[in-house]
Structure 1
C-alpha cells in the first residue's frame, strides 16, 4: 500500500555492504514487535493472490488486477509517462530462501539461464532480439534474484504492437519454456562465478556473520542469493529443473504491465500468450524458513581488513506475514512517524561538534520470512566506538522513556503532508517504470496498491487522530523485541571488544535518563535580496520550446516549461569556470570540495539543522557539482515551493557558512572510506584510474588519506566560494513552471547581484589536459580476495566539440565493442560477469577523450582478457561489422533518445551553458541524425584510427600478493 511510503528521507542499510539487514526503510513496514498480527495471514500453499481480496482496503480503481484459470496473476495499468513507452515485470514468488541445500545459488543461476535458450529462442538470441527492439542489456533488460523473489524486467522504449508482442513472448518463454541445456549451463558457470567473485567484499562477510548471530537457526542466515561456489560449479541439470518446476509455475507468477497502451488489448494479449501455461499437478512447495528463537541480550563482533567500522543494536521478534489492512496501515503510519522523529534527533546530534558518532539511524521493518526487527545503526568517529555507542543508545533510551514533544510531531506531520500533497498533484504523470516497481513490491509485501488520491484521503483522515499521547504510547514497543543483538564490526576492535560492548550496554541500561530539551523553529531569513533586476534581452527558441533571458546584471537564464511531470521543477545555477578555471600547478583540493556537502555547512544565519527546521514542510534541494567548465548548484521543487527553492540557492551562493564542524564530521568517515576502497579492485580503480587516464593532473587526483585529513576547511571554502561569488551565472529552469513565474523569481534573487564578468578567468594551463604517452602499463594493489582482478584498457581518442559526428560515431563503436565483449568474454569464454566498453569525450578540454574496455577477472585470466580484447580490436579494424550488429548497437541509443526528449532530466542536463554557447542547442537538434548517420564503414575506419594497442593505457588492479609479480612481467 503506497500510503505507508510517506517519509521524505528514509534510512536504508545496504545488506551486503555494511553491517546489517536487507534494505530497511525508516518508515515502518510492520506492526510493532509487541503487537499481534493484524490481518489475514498469507498462505503460500494456495498460490499468489492480491491483498485487496483479503483486506478492508480498496485497490486503486485505475489498476486492472486479474487471474488466469491456470492461477497466474496479472496487473495492468495504462500510463503515459513517458509517452509511447511501457514497462513489463514478471515476478516469481521464489528466491534463495526457497532453495534446498543442494540448490544454493540456483535461483540466481536460473535467472541467468532465462537469457540462454528456450523452446522458441536459441541460446544467445534473447538479448539480440531485445537489442533489435531498442533495449540495451542492463539498462532496459535486466533481472534480479533476492531472498524471496525473482523478477524479470523489460523497459520498452516503444509500444508498437510488435514491441509489446515481443516483450510478452519473451516473458512467456521465461515462464515455462526454458531449455536448461546442459551445455548452456556449463557455459554460464564461469559468468556466475565471476559475479560471485566481483561482488565479494568484507562487507558481505560481515553480513553473513551478523545474520548467523541474529537468525542462526533460520534459512535467512545461510541463503545469500549468490549461493555457494561448489554448487554453482557442479550442480547438475536436475537440480535446476527441480527448482524451475516448483517455482516457475503460474500460481507463483505475477505479470505487471504498465505503459502507454490500450488496457483491453493488453489483457487480451496476456490471456492469449499465457493461457497455455500449464499448472503442474504437484502441489506448491512450501518452504520451512525456520522460526525465530529468542536469544536474549547477546554481544558479537567481527573484524576484517577493509571493513568500515559500524555498531548496531537489533531487537527482533517472530514474524507472521499478513495482508495489509487499515489496522496494520495505521500501525505502520504511526511507527513511521516515531522512527522519523528519532532519526531527526540522531541526525541533529551527529552534527554537533562534540558528538562521538558521525551518524546514527533507527529502522523498523520485516525481514522476509524471518523476523520483524528494530535496529539502531551507528557510525562512530575514529577511535570513539564506546562513546558513540553510549551517546546514540542514550538518545534512544531517552526517547523511549520520555517520548517526542509537540513541536517534533508537528514538524514531521508537516513534512508528510507535503509529501502526500506532492504525490497527489503529480498523480497523472507518474513514471511507468516506477509504477511497475511499486506494483511488484505491493505483491511481494502483501500490500494493497492504492492511488495518490486514496493516500491523501487516508492522511487527511489520520492526521487529527495522531495525538502526542497516542504517538508516545507506541515508542517503547518498538524496542520490546528479543535482544538486542549487540554488534561491532571493523578492521579492528580497539578497546571495544565483545565483553566491553556488553558491559557498555548494561551501563546505559542502568543509567537514569532525563528528557531532551524542546527546540523552536527559527524563521527563514533569506526572503529579500534587493531591488529586482530587469530583463534586457529575450529570445524565444521555438523549435526547442525554450526561452532565453538576459538580465541587466548579466545573469542569463534558460526556461523550458514542460508537462512531462506535473508539479516537478528542476533548477540548475551554473557558475562558469569549473575545473578549467583552476590551475593544475596550484594543486587545488578538488576531491575534498566535491565530496563536502555545502548544505551541511549551513548558512551565515542558520546552521544546517536550523535551516532544515525553518523550512519544514518545504520541498527543496541543494546539490553542489564541480564540472569541467562550470560549478553548479541545483535543486528540485514544486510550484508552491519554487520561490523558496530560488531563495535557498541564492542564500548558498551569497552566504554559505562552510562550517568547520561539518568538514570535520566528513573527515570522521574518511579512514573507513579509504580502507573500504582499498579492499576491492573497483575501489582502487576509483582512487587511481581517473588520475592515470589524465596523466596525473592534480584536478583529477584523489588525495591520499593523510593528505585528505590534512586538508583544511579554509582551502575548500576558498575554492568553492571563489566559483560561486565570481563565476558568470546562468540559470536553467525545466519543468512545470510558467515562464512568467520563473522570470519573476530570478529577478528577485540572482538578478539582484552585482554585475559579474562575462567570462570566467582561465589560467594559462587551465585548458590543458593530457592522455598519458609514457608508463602505459600501470599495476596497483588491492587488499581483497586473492582471486579478484580488474583489467582496464583505454585508448586516446578525441574531444566532442571539434567534430561532433566523430564523437557520436565513437560512442557507437564503444557500443559495438560492448556487444562483442558480452558475447565473447562473458558468454563464450566465461572470463567475466560484466565486461563493457565506453566512450568518454570532453566538451571543455581540446583534444581530450578516450575509449575504454574493462572486465573483472581472475588474476590468471588478466592476460587472456587482454589477448581477447586485442583480437576483438583487430577484427573491428580489418572486417566490417554486420548490419545486424550495427542495428543492435544503434537502436537502443536512438530509442533512448526519443524517450529522453520526454523527460525533464534530459533537458536539465542538456540546456545549461547554452546561453553562452549556442552550439549546445545544435547538439540537441542534430544528435539523432548524427547517430543514424554512423555506418559500418565508419566503425571500421574509427577502429583503425583510434584502437592502437601500442598507445593504449593498460591498468591492472591485482591482489597484493601478486601485484609485484605482475609489475615484473
Structure 2
C-alpha cells in the first residue's frame, strides 16, 4: 500500500511539473494540429482533399467542392459572373447535360435547394451535395458531379441565356430599402476597396447582356485545381474515397498561363467615417459602430487561447447589454456589441442598436457607455467564473457527442479550414485544450483584451433611418462627439451573487399508478396519481440530449375577443419575468453550468411546454418545469420595458409601412376573413393590453396539469428517471378540471377572392395563391396532400424557373390540420417581374389543371417517394423528429405506429391518386393576393 501511494505521488508531481513547463512555453510557436481522423492530401496539380469517416447519419455522406474564387476576382465586365458560374454548374456539365444533374439527384432522394445547393461569396464559391452511401453507384456519381463542377461545365449558350432570367429574378428578390442603403454605406465601410465594388449578385445590365466568352474566361481563369479542394465526410470507406478522388481529379490541368489569384485588401486608413442614410421604406433606425482590425487567425496554440479570451469577453459584455433591456424604460429596442470576423483581411468590434422612439442619442450613448464601462473598469471575477463554467460546459457537450456529431457540421468546419488556410482541430483536442488552458486565463488578461479590441480609429459609423426622420437625425459632428465622450461618467458594474435554490422546499410528488407500453416504438407511458401523463422514448441518437415537450387542450380560444390580446401576451409575460424569487438575470446566473431550458407557451387551442437538457441536468429542467406551474413570476419593471419596446416597434411599422408588412398583413387578414382577434397587432390595441390580466390568464392556463401529457425523448433509462418524474411531474397541481379546445369558426372566405396591392418602388411583384377547405382527417389523405405538394413543386420549378426563366424559386406547401377543425391548406408562392405575373399565374394554373386531368407524371411521383424514404431514414434517428411526431399523434388521436407503415402509405400514391387529390383540393375556395409596385 505504501509503495502504491508513493507511485501516485511521483506521477502527480510529474504531471504538475509537466503542466508548469507547458504553461511557460511559447504557445505562439506551437501549431494547432489537424484532426488526425481527417485524411488529407494534395494532388500534384495542387487540388487539396479532406476525407473523414463519420457515422451520423448512417448511410449518408456530405460532399463539398470549394473554389477560392468569388466576386472579388471579377473584372469590370464580369460583375455577377462568379455567381452566374455557380448557377451554370447546375445547367449542364460534361457528364450531366442540361438539367440531368438535378434530375438524377432528385431520383436518388436528394432535394434541389433543400439538400443540393451552392453559394458564392466575395472570396469563394462552395458547392454542397449530400448523397446516400448505401448505393455505391449513387456515391460514385456524387464524386463525378464534384469533378464536373471542378472543371467540366459545358457553358452552352442556350443554357446561359435561359439562366439569365433566373439570376435576374434572384437579384430582384434582394431589391428594396436594405439593398438601396447597402449600396450607399458599403463604400464607406469598405473604403472603396475591391470588395465595395464587387457584390456577388453583380449588376443587372451585365447579367442581361454579357457575352458568352466573358463567362467562359472567368471559368477558365479560376476554376482550376490549385484553387480548389474536395471534402467528403460521412459513412464511407476512407481508402476507397481517396482512391476515387485521386483517379477523378489528378488529370485536371491548371491553365498554361495562370491568372494571378489576387488577394485584395480593405485598407485601414485610421480615423472615423460616418454615413447617415435614409430610405422611405426603412421602418426603424439602426446605428452601427464598426471598429475594423486586421484579421486574427487560429493557427497556433496562442491564437486559440486568445480566441477563447475574446469569446469570454464577448459573452460577459453580451450579458451586461441584455440587462439594459430588463428595465422599465430600456434605452433601445435591441442592442449588441462584440468582436468577430468581418470581411476579407479584417475582423471588427461592432456595437449596434435598434433605436427606440427615434432617439439616436439615447440608444447610441447607452451601448457606447456599456462598452466603455467594460473597457475602463473591466469585468468582475464572478462574471469570469460564470462564463468559464459555461464555456467548459459547451466543450464537454461537444466531447460527449463526438461520435454522434452530424456530418454536415463537421464538413462545414473543413470548408472553413480550407478557405482560411487553417487546420480543423478535433473535438477531443478542443476539449483537452480547454481543460488545460481555460483555468489559467486570468481576469487581468481578459480585461486587458478590451484595450486591444475596442479602439478609437479605423471606425465606421452607419446610421440607417426612415426618410421621414431625416430632419431630426444627428449630424456627423454630433455622432463623433458622442463617440469621443462615451463612458466618461461610467461607473463600475456591480455583480450580484445568487445563492438561493430555485425551489425553497422540494416537492414529494406522487407515484406512477399506471404503465402502458408500445414495444414496436420503444415507448412507455406513465400515468401519475395526479392525472399527469408522461410518454418516454429512450434513444441512443445523442449522448448528451433529452428533449421535452408537453401539452393540454384549452388555449387562448377559451377567452372572449376582449381578452384575446391579453391571452396572446400571457406566456410572454411569464417567460420574460423569471421564476419565483429570481429575475431573468438572476435565473440565468443560477443556471450557469447547467444544460437545461424550459419554456411555456400558449396557442389558440392548447397550453404547452418545450425544453431540453443534458441527462445530468434533467432534474434542473424538471425544477424549471415545475416552477412554471407553481411559482411563475410577474416582474413589473421588465414587463413595462417589454411593452414600451413593442409599442415603439409597432409605431415605427405603422408610420413606415414596408411592402413586406403590407403584403403579409393583408394576406393574413384575408385568410382569417378579417376576424378581429387575428388581425395584426397595432399600437392602439397594445395600449389596451392589461399585463396583470395577461399574467392571470397564464396562471389560469397552468393551474391544472391533470390533463397534461409530457414527452421525453433522448438518452435516459426509464427506471432511472422515473423517481425524478414522480417527484416533479407527480407534484404538479391537479384540479381534475375537464377542458378541451374551442373552435371559433374562423375560416378563410369561400369562393374566389382576388386582391391586388400596390406598394414599394422596386420593379418586383409577389404572388400567393391559397386553396382551402374541409378535410377528412385520414392519415392516407395526409400522405396524398404531401405528395401532391411535392410533385407540384417539382413541376413548377421545372416550368416557371427552368423553362420560363421567370422565377428564382417557387414554394408549394400542402398542410392539413385536425385541431380545432379538420381543414387543409394548399399554398403556392413566388416572386417575379411585374410584367410576368399574369403569364406565370396562368402557367401555374395550367400545370394544376394538367394534374387534375391526367395526374402527376410518374417520374415526379417516384422522386417524391424516394425523397420521402431517404428523409424518413434520417428522421428515425433524430430525437427532434420523434418528439414532434409523438406529440402530434397523441394530440390528433392518430395511430402511433403510422410511421412504421409509411412505405405502405407511399404505395397508394399513384398517377390516379394525384389526379383525384388535385381535383379534390384545388377546388372552389381560392384566395389570390398579388403585390405590384406603386403606380407612378
Query: Alignment partner for residue 207 of structure 1, among 173, 179, 182?
Result: 182
Q: Is the 8 A contact 1:842 1:848 kept in 2?
A: yes
**Which residue of structure 1 lines up, in the alignment, with residue 3 of structure 2?**
none
Q: Call closer, same or farther: CA 1:544–1:674 in 2, change over 3 Å.
A: farther
Query: Alignment partner for residue 754 of structure 2, among 757, 763, 777?
Result: 777
Between 220-229 and 910-919, the greater mean CA deviation after superposition: 910-919
**Which residue of structure 2 lines up, in the alignment, with residue 44 of structure 1?**
none
Q: Is the 8 A contact 2:545 2:614 kept in 1?
A: yes
Between 912-921 and 280-289, the greater mean CA deviation after superposition: 912-921
Deviations 1:688-726 (A, max 9, x none): 334422333455432235434543323543444333234
Query: Alignment partner for residue 572 of structure 1, among 549, 552, 556?
Result: 549
Aligned length: 905
Q: Is the 8 A contact 1:588 1:698 kept in 2?
A: no
1:122 aligns with 2:97: yes
Q: Call closer, same or farther: CA 1:288–1:645 in 2, change over 3 Å.
A: same
Between 360-369 and 178-187, the greater mean CA deviation after superposition: 360-369
Instruction: Name the SS for the 2:192 alignment partner.
Output: coil
Instruction: Name the SS for the 2:627 alignment partner.
Output: helix
Deviations 1:671-702 (A, max 9, x none): 54786797665544433334422333455432
How far 1:670 sits from its partner (Å)?
A: 5.7
Deviations 1:383-420 (A, max 9, x none): 33211212221121121111111111111101101111
Q: Call closer, same or farther: CA 1:851–1:914 in 2, change over 3 Å.
A: closer
Q: Distance in 2 between matches of 1:676 and 1:223?
A: 32
Q: Distance in 1 between matches of 2:129 and 2:173?
A: 25
Query: Alignment partner for residue 408 of structure 1, among 363, 376, 383?
Result: 383
Q: Distance in 2 between matches of 1:790 and 1:363?
A: 37
- Within 5 Å, which residues of 2 pair with 1:262-661? 262-287=237-262, 289-307=264-282, 308-319=284-295, 324-480=299-455, 482-491=457-466, 492-493=469-470, 495-499=472-476, 501-502=478-479, 504-506=481-483, 508-509=485-486, 511-526=488-503, 528-578=505-555, 581=558, 587-588=564-565, 592=569, 596=572, 598-627=574-603, 629-661=605-637
**Which residue of structure 1 lines up, in the alignment, with residue 829 of structure 2?**
854
Q: Call closer, same or farther: CA 1:662–1:135 in 2, change over 3 Å.
A: farther
Q: Is the 8 A contact 1:342 1:396 kept in 2?
A: yes
- Structure of higher CA gyration radius: 2
Q: Call closer, same or farther: CA 1:403–1:56 in 2, change over 3 Å.
A: same
Q: Distance in 2 between matches of 1:606 and 1:262?
A: 53
**Which residue of structure 2 lines up, in the alignment, with residue 746 of structure 1?**
725
- Within 5 Å, which residues of 2 pair with 1:231-246? 231-246=206-221
Q: Is the 8 A contact 1:555 1:729 kept in 2?
A: yes
**Which residue of structure 2 lines up, in the alignment, with residue 725 of structure 1?**
703
**Which residue of structure 1 lines up, in the alignment, with residue 928 of structure 2?**
954
Q: Call closer, same or farther: CA 1:928–1:482 in 2, change over 3 Å.
A: farther
Q: Is the 8 A contact 2:553 2:740 kept in 1?
A: no
**Which residue of structure 1 lines up, in the alignment, with residue 119 of structure 2?**
144
Q: Distance in 2 between matches of 1:265 and 1:812?
A: 37
Q: Is the 8 A contact 1:82 1:564 kept in 2?
A: no
**Which residue of structure 2 lines up, in the alignment, with residue 696 of structure 1?**
674
Q: Is the 8 A contact 1:68 1:271 kept in 2?
A: yes
Instruction: Name the SS for the 1:465 alignment partner.
Output: coil
Q: Distance in 2 between matches of 1:212 and 1:694?
A: 45
Between 669-678 and 242-251, the greater mean CA deviation after superposition: 669-678
How far 1:779 sits from its partner (Å)?
A: 3.0
**Which residue of structure 2 lines up, in the alignment, with residue 814 of structure 1?**
789
**Which residue of structure 1 lines up, in the alignment, with residue 807 of structure 2?**
832
Name stretches of at least 5 consecutive residues in structure 2 with no aligned partner: 1-26
How far 1:373 sits from its partner (Å)?
A: 1.6
Instruction: Name the SS for the 1:725 alignment partner.
Output: coil
Deviations 1:300-356 (A, max 9, x none): 21111332321121212345x756111222221212212221111111122222331
How far 1:607 sits from its partner (Å)?
A: 0.7
Q: Distance in 2 between matches of 1:167 and 1:628?
A: 46
Between 399-408 and 905-914, the greater mean CA deviation after superposition: 905-914
Deviations 1:258-283 (A, max 9, x none): 11121122222222222322222233
Q: Distance in 1 between matches of 2:260 and 2:773?
A: 56
Q: Call closer, same or farther: CA 1:147–1:650 in 2, change over 3 Å.
A: farther
Relative CO higher for 1 or 2, CA cutoff 8 Å, sep ≥ 6?
1
- Within 5 Å, which residues of 2 pair with 1:24-173? 56-157=31-132, 159-173=134-148
Instruction: Name the SS for the 1:846 alignment partner.
Output: coil
Q: Distance in 2 between matches of 1:935 and 1:662?
A: 56
- Within 5 Å, which residues of 2 pair with 1:927-946? 927-946=902-921
Q: Distance in 1 between matches of 2:294 and 2:732?
A: 61
Q: Distance in 1 between matches of 2:588 and 2:563?
A: 36
Deviations 1:779-812 (A, max 9, x none): 3344x3331211111112443x622212211211
Q: Distance in 1 between matches of 2:865 and 2:217?
A: 40
Q: Is the 8 A contact 2:360 2:474 kept in 1?
A: no
Q: Call closer, same or farther: CA 1:720–1:788 in 2, change over 3 Å.
A: farther
Q: Distance in 2 between matches of 1:200 and 1:39?
A: 46
Deviations 1:611-637 (A, max 9, x none): 001111111223344446433221121
How far 1:658 sits from its partner (Å)?
A: 4.3
How far 1:756 sits from its partner (Å)?
A: 4.0
Q: Is the 8 A contact 2:606 2:741 kept in 1?
A: no
Q: Call closer, same or farther: CA 1:634–1:510 in 2, change over 3 Å.
A: closer
Q: Is the 8 A contact 1:334 1:471 kept in 2?
A: yes
Q: Distance in 2 between matches of 1:919 and 1:235?
A: 57
**Which residue of structure 1 lines up, in the alignment, with residue 16 of structure 2?**
none
**Which residue of structure 2 lines up, in the alignment, with residue 3 of structure 1?**
none
Q: Distance in 1 between matches of 2:789 and 2:853?
A: 17
- Within 5 Å, which residues of 2 pair with 1:215-230? 215-230=190-205
Q: Is the 8 A contact 2:94 2:153 kept in 1?
A: yes
Instruction: Name the SS for the 1:553 alignment partner.
Output: coil
Between 269-278 and 631-640, the greater mean CA deviation after superposition: 269-278
Q: Is the 8 A contact 2:133 2:236 kept in 1?
A: no
Instruction: Name the SS for the 1:88 alignment partner.
Output: strand
Instruction: Name the SS for the 2:827 alignment partner.
Output: strand
Q: Distance in 2 between matches of 1:597 and 1:67?
A: 57
Q: Distance in 2 between matches of 1:759 and 1:65?
A: 64
Q: Is the 8 A contact 1:194 1:833 kept in 2?
A: yes
**What is the CA RMSD across the aligned residues, in angstroms?**
2.6
**Which residue of structure 2 lines up, in the alignment, with residue 790 of structure 1?**
766
Deviations 1:28-51 (A, max 9, x none): xxxxxxxxxx989xxxxxxxxxxx
**Which residue of structure 2 lines up, in the alignment, with residue 9 of structure 1?**
none
Q: Distance in 2 between matches of 1:301 and 1:67?
A: 49
How far 1:843 sits from its partner (Å)?
A: 2.6
- State the TM-score, normalizing by the size of structure 2: 0.92
